[in-house]
Amino acid sequence: MQSEHQAFTQGKPLEPLVEGEYLVRRSETVEFRAHQQFASHFLSHERLHLVILPTEECNFRCIYCYERFEQGKMLPSVRKGVKELVRKRAPELKWLAVSWFGGEPLLAMDVIQGLATEFLNLSTAYGFRVFHHITTNGYGLTPETSAALFQLGIKHFQVTLDGPEEEHDRKRPMANGSGSFPKIWENLLALRATKQDFKVIVRMNLDVESLLPARRFLKKLAEHFSGDRRFALHLHPIGRWGGPNDEDINTIKDTGLLAGLYKEARNLGLQLALELGPMSHVCYAALPYSFVIRADGRINKCTVALEEPANQIGRLLPDGRMLVNHERLRPWIFNNALNDSVCSKCVLRPACQGASCPWERIRDGTRPCPEIKRNLRDYLEILAPAGAVDGR
């Protein structure tokens, strides 16, 4: 993302990469631009991002899951607190982002509907924008449910399909042990048949065993979704995220394999949920205006390691006040490129700002780097228009 990359791109048609802010011109100061981007995104009182868990129950039992499913539907007092929090912030807000998470959020549609309706009313009254994203296993994303979500302005989804049916059902069975693939696939095809404007990120979690089935599945996805810009593919290596099956997970060591799969997907005509622009790899948990609101009112910064004390920074009160432990909050938002000399000079700083995974810094004391950095040329070739990098 800076002029050092001219070592392999000098003299090539790079203007599209410059316009997309993947590269900067030699005459510009990269560090100054990175500081500008940091300030505009981190230091803003006009933004609020809430990751809301309307329930922490789930109808799936994915083999890599780390959640305990001990909390049920969001308590009425917590729902009231969420509404009051947004109401108190509404006069100064320009942008409210709501990420619905779980558990499986669609198991608590009444909570989603109640809160989203309040957000819509407040945005109309005070003039701020609301952006919704929902991470759902897709089993309950029926035509009826999706129509109700569209009415609330919820049109951005992430749905996970871990490969073809047999591979997906191995990793993502339902709580009763039955397979989940056919219903999810049916729901996605029903969405495709609508004329609605929406976005579905189809996420595929990959371990070593799923690499070969994944290649077959890309062809199936392309047969049904190629050319439909409403659907995009995101590939993610499975990690040991703190669940009971961590030791049995055969994690992918060579992350370059993911870049290869992305190239295959692109060549098949699939849209890719892949970015390398400014702030595109900054974790939400590193942002000072981003909070995870648990079903019981606890406030976390990250949706992984939910029960770790370092990740529990406070509690939301029914009147909308947040009681925050600032000692626990500080490492999440201050340990980044501003005080890490290596990150501050990194070629990828504008994309991640040294904040791609603040939990990794807190937990291990190591510097986090996004996977895309280790295979940067491959990803530039994937993202760039044909010929922009290799000069064809």
375 band by pLDDT with thresholds 50, 70 and 90: confident
* End residue of a domain, out of 272, 294, 311: 272
Residues 13 and 129 in one domain: no
- Quick check: 350 and 33 in contact, CB under 8 A? yes
Residues 66 and 11 in one domain: no
CB burial of residue 317 (10 Å; 0-12, 13-18, 19+): middle
Cα–Cα distances in Å, from 19 out to 15, 41, 257, 385? Answer: 6, 20, 28, 12
pLDDT at 216 over 70: yes
pLDDT at 391 over 60: no
Q: Is 279 a domain residue?
A: no
CA distance 192 to 299: 36
- Quick check: 237 and 206 in contact, CB under 8 A? yes
Q: What is the mean pLDDT of residues 84-111?
A: 97
Angle at 152 between CA 115 and CA 87, to 5 degrees: 35
pLDDT at 8 over 90: no
The domain that contains 227 carries what CATH number?
3.20.20.70
Residues 138 and 238 in one domain: yes
More confident of the two residues 152 and 278:
152
Q: Is 153 in a helix, a strand, or coil?
A: coil
pLDDT at 11 over 70: no
Indicate the average pLDDT of the chain: 89
Q: CA Rg, the chain, in Å?
A: 21
Residues 91 and 217 in one domain: yes
Residues 256 and 344 in one domain: no
Q: What is the mean pLDDT of residues 1-25?
A: 50
More confident of the two residues 383 and 283:
283
205 band by pLDDT with thresholds 50, 70 and 90: very high
CA distance 54 to 277: 31
Residues 60 and 174 in one domain: yes
Cα–Cα distances in Å, from 33 out to 43, 65, 66, 277, 325? Answer: 15, 39, 38, 13, 32
CA distance 82 to 79: 5
Q: Is 249 a domain residue?
A: yes
DSSP label at residue 60: B
CA distance 23 to 152: 38
Closest C-alpha to 271, from 202, 215, 211, 204: 202
Residues 165 and 98 in one domain: yes
Residues 293 and 251 in one domain: no
State pLDDT tens for residues 148-167.
Answer: 999 999 999 999 999 999 99
Residues 257 and 354 in one domain: no
pLDDT at 1 over 80: no
Q: Is 388 a domain residue?
A: no
311 band by pLDDT with thresholds 50, 70 and 90: very high
Cα–Cα distances in Å, from 383 out to 14, 32, 61? Answer: 12, 25, 35
For residue 371, what pLDDT is reported?
87
CA distance 246 to 44: 38
State pLDDT tens for residues 29-65.
Answer: 556 555 556 655 666 789 999 999 999 999 999 999 9
* End residue of a domain, out of 272, 298, 331: 272
pLDDT at 170 over 70: yes
Q: Is 389 a domain residue?
A: no
- Residue spans of beta strands (DSSP E) within the chain: 47-52, 95-100, 129-136, 156-160, 199-206, 231-237, 271-272, 290-293, 298-300, 312-316, 322-324
For residues 88-98, b (16+ Cβ closer than 10 Å) or e, as one string?
A: ebbeebeebbb
pLDDT at 389 over 50: no
For residue 18, what pLDDT is reported?
62
* End residue of a domain, out of 238, 272, 306: 272
**Structural domains counted in the chain:** 2
Residues 93 and 191 in one domain: yes
More confident of the two residues 344 and 65:
65
Q: What is the mean pLDDT of residues 182-190?
A: 98
DSSP of 295-322: TTSEEES-SSSTT-GGGEEEEE-TTS-E
Q: Residue 311 is part of which domain span?
A: 3-38+284-383
- How many CB atoms sit inside 10 A of residue 148's CB? 15
Residues 221 and 137 in one domain: yes
Q: Is 392 a domain residue?
A: no
Residues 202 and 307 in one domain: no
For residue 387, what pLDDT is reported?
41
For residue 390, what pLDDT is reported?
43
pTM: 0.88
Q: Is 13 a domain residue?
A: yes
Q: Is 372 a domain residue?
A: yes
More confident of the two residues 36 and 101:
101
10 band by pLDDT with thresholds 50, 70 and 90: very low
State pLDDT tens for residues 253-266.
Answer: 887 899 999 999 99
User: C-alpha 122: how far from its chain's center?
Assistant: 25
Q: Is 390 a domain residue?
A: no
